[in-house]
Structure 1
């Protein structure tokens, strides 16, 4: 697999002004198909699986990219490793010391990934996490040696708390979905999909902050513009859908609860232009549809995905997807994570003791 360099520009470059001092008119992304030679623990290249039973239910050929099997349990390690390694290489190239710390805010998965990547480089990590985040994700962040800083469950509280921690520690902020190195890292998913399943006609990607779908969309449209890219999100937190409909960034100011906790955050100023221009459509699904799709993957595929990873299948099984032309026959769904809070599975509460 070869590396590609993508310079994505809006049809109106002025829309990008203010995104960054070094690249004011476009998002310059290098999507690397081969792991960095200096990366101590490169992300895994994961399989694309199929399920005949789910094919029959969808009336299409479904392909599942199994990011739940990734290190730290989600696709997030791709972007985190790329961001931390890029930071280390830049400091080494300029003869500067490594940062005192890296800081981020996260619903849990990016926090685990950044903690893992920072630990591999010997850099302290501070992870701002909503108090409502699943306990399993909080525990994993601490297990990677990071300092966990609690906050309220809102984008505003996350951002403000992370900013305060940066000031207190002198650390560097690695944004979970707006950092370009993170977006580029997530784009490697698409390189693998195109190599493993060249027959693919569409990719369906759960969307929260938009880093994964942005990286995938840039890569897909650069290499295979005929392949459709769909974003999928819970109807309870439908900022991506609302932004698409209105043609302007429309964040969730008061998001409702959703079982898909990892996509409760809103898309941002770096991911929105890519989603606006390159994502073909945004599909929304109900809480019941997410639960049903998650259960189907557990039952039919024997894969313990977290509910956020069920959002993509829920979208493909929804009435909305029936409007997609039938020649879009081979559909790849990204199973983005598997960090399931086992305490939330009610049947486990009947068990005495717990597994160690």
Structure 2
């Protein structure tokens, strides 16, 4: 037994060291909670980090990334704390003080490092092929968001104009999802841009919702705490995709020394090609489109009517679980045929 453990340790020592660090971190957090009644970090931050790790693990299919970034981020914050203490020359900057502060700020640095790493090294992986089905789902979700917000009754001409534009793009995505119309480069570019805009919009709306419910995070209600924690988990899962879509949209804006000159148009064409390349030419089946519209539409209608959860929560949780549901649906459909 001992030989097997040693063999496992030497085959992946970083994983064991990281697990040991997490155990020490949890024990220290338990000690702090017992002595002062508080935790090093809140449940929401831990849920956010868990969401990032969960999605990155799904992308890379290995845990070494989490281990490496976890160790690197702690070393970084520890030496940064030591450096800052040496500058201010405070008498209370003991090793225990630096270690304590490092443990407190480590989750935040870990999150930032993880997102940056995923953005730089997994860029191709976190830019999954968009499909007509994904755009259809996002369009249905956008219509639900508009109706649930009561924006269809707006008298503001600007808001009405934006709604008309949004509905037009949504109908365009519906048209492609329910027909076998050829996906030309122009159409793929339009659908990709529309998908990026919706995802960024939902991301900002979700952040705003979490900020508005900040007081609820301090509630003693267990169910409310779990609900908020799941919101943060979903935010962590989507954070990598948020960054990618943000980069794929902001690149179209002119900048200093790239103000509608040859360099700007060159980058514009490159980014346009990225949008076209990430949109799959494989068209979804008519039955899948119907199932998506009926299933997702029913969930959003029930939540709109009974107000089970917030619209942000309903949209993001459905966005995460629907791919699994459609996979089960297609599996059962194939079994039924044979």
Same fold (TM over 0.5): no
Normalization by structure 2: what TM-score? 0.24
Normalized per residue, the structure richer in helix is 2
Q: TM-score, normalised by structure 1?
A: 0.23
The structure that has the greater radius of gyration is 2
Larger RCO: 1 or 2 (CA < 8 Å, sep 6+): 2
